[in-house]
Chain A
Amino acid sequence: MTKSSWTAGFVQTEFGYASVLGVVLGVLGIAVALTLVRLTGFGGMQSGQEGIS
């Protein structure tokens, strides 16, 4: 998708098409990241150094 976006934008000068691919890619990335955080419980992890000052 990244390469298609690059080609659409900088080779074919279809900036709208390239931007849509960029937005879709960004949304997918955020969705995957949030899903991983939810599934792995990464957001609830605490440092082993917690409480040590």
Chain B
Amino acid sequence: MSSAEVLPAAHGDGERQRRATWLRSLRRSLRPTRVVAFVLGTLWLCVVLFPIYYMVLTSFRSQTQYLTANPWLPTGGLSLSSWANVFSSTGLLTDFVNSLLYTAGTIILVVVLSLLAAFRIVRHSTRMAPISFRVILFGLAVPIQAVLIPHLRDHGQTSTLRHLDRAGAGDVGGVDGGGGAAHRQLRALDPW
């Protein structure tokens, strides 16, 4: 048999094999458990993405549009006034530098301390090493909000740090600190 007669048959077998593999993978993908997992995953993705969508949508709204327009859909017109406010204020750069300093300081401290702690815990099998490791792990169980929000409440408004107390003093960027019924109501209710 010449090679010219063999090749078409081999080509047909390959095609059938590819088709069978594709069908098998399609059947696997359409298993009820996988479909349910896909639907639940998609729903969860929507839940997770919604705050980001809401934030982006709100950034393109003026205060009036925010209070009156549909909160779910970009109806009622979009506005760039908030973006203009942020970028025309002098506070953005200061805020950015503050964030940079805090982030860099925190990262350096965490990396240095965790390296030293990791070396001690892994290399020295003393009685205290596993105990300190468990204490560190226990720290992960504490939600960050439970620490951060009371800290902001107690120190955020009365901080004496030169740049940080500006935000607490009621002047964020170019935003007027006072005025507005909603603002006054919130102030009245706000225990901070």
| Partner-B contacts on A (CB < 8 A) | 1-4, 6-8, 10-17, 19-26, 28
Contacts of A7 in B (CB 8 A): 167-168, 172
Describe A's contact surface by its main secondary structure.
helix
Describe B's contact surface by its main secondary structure.
helix
B14 lies within 8 A of chain A by Cβ: no
Interface membership of chain B positions 69-87, coded 1 if the CB is closer than 8 angstroms to chain A and 0 otherwise: 0000000000101110110
Q: Given A4-B91, A21-B86: A16 and B59 within 8 A (CB)?
A: yes
- Segment with Cβ contacts to A, from B36-44, B112-120, B179-187: B179-187
11 additional A-B pairs beyond A3-B167, A3-B168, A20-B83, beta carbons within 8 Å, are A3-B164, A6-B152, A11-B192, A12-B183, A14-B63, A17-B172, A19-B56, A20-B59, A20-B85, A20-B86, A28-B96
Contacts of B59 in A (CB 8 A): 16, 19-20, 22-23
